[in-house]
Amino acid sequence: MHTPRRLALAVALAAMVGIATPALASAQQARTEAFAAPNFSGTVALDNCSGSIVRWKSSEDSDKAMVLSNGHCYDFMGAREAVVNKPYVRGVDLLNSDGSVAGTVQTVTLLYATMWQTDVSLYQLSQTYTELQNKYGVPSFTIADTKPSPKDQPIQVLSGYWRVAYHCKLNGFAYRLHEDVWDWNNSLRYSDGGCQVIGGTSGSPVLNSKRVQIGINNTINESGGRCTFDNPCEENRKGKITVHIHRGYGQQTWVFYTCLDGIKLDLDKAGCKLPKP
């Protein structure tokens, strides 16, 4: 899991070897399979994680904009905890296509956050999508409303914190992912050896080849540990546990649509797949 502790370690290691943030980003990108120059428009940098400006397929340009990141980027929540509609202020750096900062805004509401079954945090800004576009030139990513294709789909993990783009393929779904006290269902599984994400990439949008957001990056098995902090393990439908060192994972985002009433989340909606508080 890409925690503030891990982020601090990554920064410390970079300092030890004399690598500044841009150089570290370049080094990471050099290890990825580049199919196009990174375009960071729509991504954001938080103080401890990455994120993205997102919208539903039903969103209007006049709606208040939203920011999506991981639940653990908000807080290390309980294994069965969820938070809904909480006033919450945090700074958000909006990025230009080249990764430079277009401007800084603040969230006003934490619409939803959990680390139960998935790992997400969704915030609302006071600005509309039109205002972000007109003032800062910043667009949004549309969240896909259907489950992604499970096998060999090219994906991009776009980190606003590090200004790094990772490219690999989607290698199906992990039926259940365990990391320390947390369990996540039907996680996106990255191809082995691909998308070697690091601390600070938590919350990065996982995009398909059309730049539609199909998921959110959240963890990688760092050292081969079994179901421990920073070392998630997979459980299949028969209960068998397997460990895959250096395999990365993300969380699916189409599930938000199962709880949408127009453009608002309704956790009481029939069929809603997001955990209630």
The span from the CA of 143 to the CA of 14, in Å, is: 33
* Residue 134 within a domain: yes
CB atoms within 10 A of CB 111: 20
pLDDT for 211 beyond 80 = yes
Pair (115, 242) in one structural domain: no
Asked whether residue 244 is domain-assigned, the answer is yes
- Say yes or no: 156 and 247 in one domain: yes
Looking at the structure, do residues 27 and 83 belong to the same domain, yes or no? Answer: no
How high is the pLDDT of residue 43? 98
pLDDT at position 33 over 80 = no
148/136 same-domain check: no
Same domain, 34 and 150: yes
Same-domain status, 171 and 209: yes
Residue 152 forms part of a structural domain: yes
- pLDDT over 90 at 90, yes or no: yes
CATH number for position 49: 2.40.10
Is residue 148 domain-resident?
yes
Q: How many domains does the chain have?
A: 2
The answer as to whether 135 is a domain residue is yes
For residue 218, being part of any structural domain is answered with: yes
When pLDDT is cut at 50, 70 and 90, the band that residue 9 belongs to is very low
Is 148 found in the same domain as 108? no
Q: Please check whether residues 72 and 167 belong to one and the same domain.
A: no
pLDDT digits (tens, 9 = 90+) for 130-149: 999 999 999 999 999 999 98
pLDDT of residue 36: 59
Q: Which domain holds residue 231?
A: 4-38+144-254
Q: Does some domain include residue 195?
A: yes
pTM over 0.85: yes
What are 38-59's pLDDT values in tens digits? Answer: 999 999 999 999 999 999 999 9
